[in-house]
Amino acid sequence: MTQNSLAGKCALVTGASRGIGAAVYQSLGASGARVCGTATSAEGAETIRAAARGFDGCGEVYDAADADAAKVLLSALAEKGFAPDIVVCNAGVTADGLLVRMKDENWERVLQTNLSGAFRLARASLAGMMKKRWGRLIGISSVVARSGNAGQANYCASKAGMEGLFRAIAREGAPRGITANTVAPGFVGTDMTMQLPEKLREEWVKMIPLGRMGRPEEIAAAVVFLSSAGGDYITGQTLHINGGLAMH
């Protein structure tokens, strides 16, 4: 990827304060894009702004579970002359538990944040992309969308829903030069996975043919690829990055 392959593009990354989103924010910026990242708090947004290494970066507050948040976010960005060409729906949460005991609130929170949040942000972003007849929508899904995972019925449903959503967007966006794809990471070292018991993490790593967890930068590289010219003819796909944990 050339260093300036995304020069002139504006990229929006949700959940950029930590983990995969933070790596995506840096990688898109390193590729020449102007990048805005989001966090759920003002402190997080400021951290994102300050973390921009050698590119034009900004941070905004955004709660994906809030029904008005996408519109408010895009209006705030429009005031700064920032109309996203690339939108990465990365913000995500888990609230694990076996289905028989899963509380409605844990189902709702995960679906609202991971799926409805992506739906609303994609919907709000599309008009600007359609006008430009160019756009890249990328959702961060998960290996478990396809494989399933005991204790994550809400999370698996949200990610499988996201993959379906993005395939529909791919069909609707194609005539206007807009691609929509999802990236499905396997087991990546971030706060989300570090909160799991060490023993469980070790069990997971044993199942990965490449013998280690993924790094956030390895997911970010795929996002940059899909956003750049190399991704021009790719739409409606899910790109699996999991060290061989699942082979489809």
Where in 62-91 is the site for ligand NAP (CB under 6 A)? 62-65, 90-91
Please select the residue that binds ligand NAP; options are 6, 11, 17, 36, rule is CB under 6 A: 17
Q: Spell out a b/e string for 97-123, using b for 16 or more CB atoms within 10 Å of the CB, else e.
A: eeeeebeeebbebbbbbbbbbbbbbbe
Q: Which of 153, 143, 140, 139 is nearest to 207 (CA)?
A: 143
25: annotated active-site residue: no
39 binds ligand NAP (CB under 6 A): yes
What's the min distance (Å) between Cβ of 230 and ligand NAP? 22
Question: For residues 124 and 72, is the Cβ–Cβ distance under 8 A?
Answer: no
Q: Which is nearer to ligand NAP, 126 or 188 (CB)?
A: 188
161 binds ligand NAP (CB under 6 A): no
Q: Which is nearer to ligand NAP, 15 or 173 (CB)?
A: 15
Q: How big is the CA angle at 112 (ends 122 and 21), to the nearest 5 degrees?
A: 60
Three-state SS at 238: strand
* Sheet architecture: strand order including 238-241: 57-61, 34-39, 10-13, 86-89, 135-140, 178-185, 238-241
44 binds ligand NAP (CB under 6 A): yes
What's the min distance (Å) between Cβ of 67 and ligand NAP? 12
Give the amino acid at 93.
V
113 binds ligand NAP (CB under 6 A): yes
Burial of 45 (0-12, 13-18, 19+ CB in 10 A): buried
Segment near ligand NAP (CB under 6 A); pick from 51-59, 167-175, 180-188, 231-239: 180-188
193 binds ligand NAP (CB under 6 A): yes
Sign of CA dihedral 242, 240, 12, 225: positive
Catalytic residue among 25, 62, 155, 233: 155
223 binds ligand NAP (CB under 6 A): no
Q: Which is nearer to ligand NAP, 5 or 193 (CB)?
A: 193
Q: How far is CA 108 from CA 40, 53, 85, 184, in A?
A: 18, 36, 30, 22
116 binds ligand NAP (CB under 6 A): no
Q: Using CB under 6 A, list all residues that contact ligand NAP.
A: 14-21, 39-41, 44, 62-65, 90-93, 113, 140, 142, 185, 187-188, 190-193
Point out the residues that are catalytic.
155
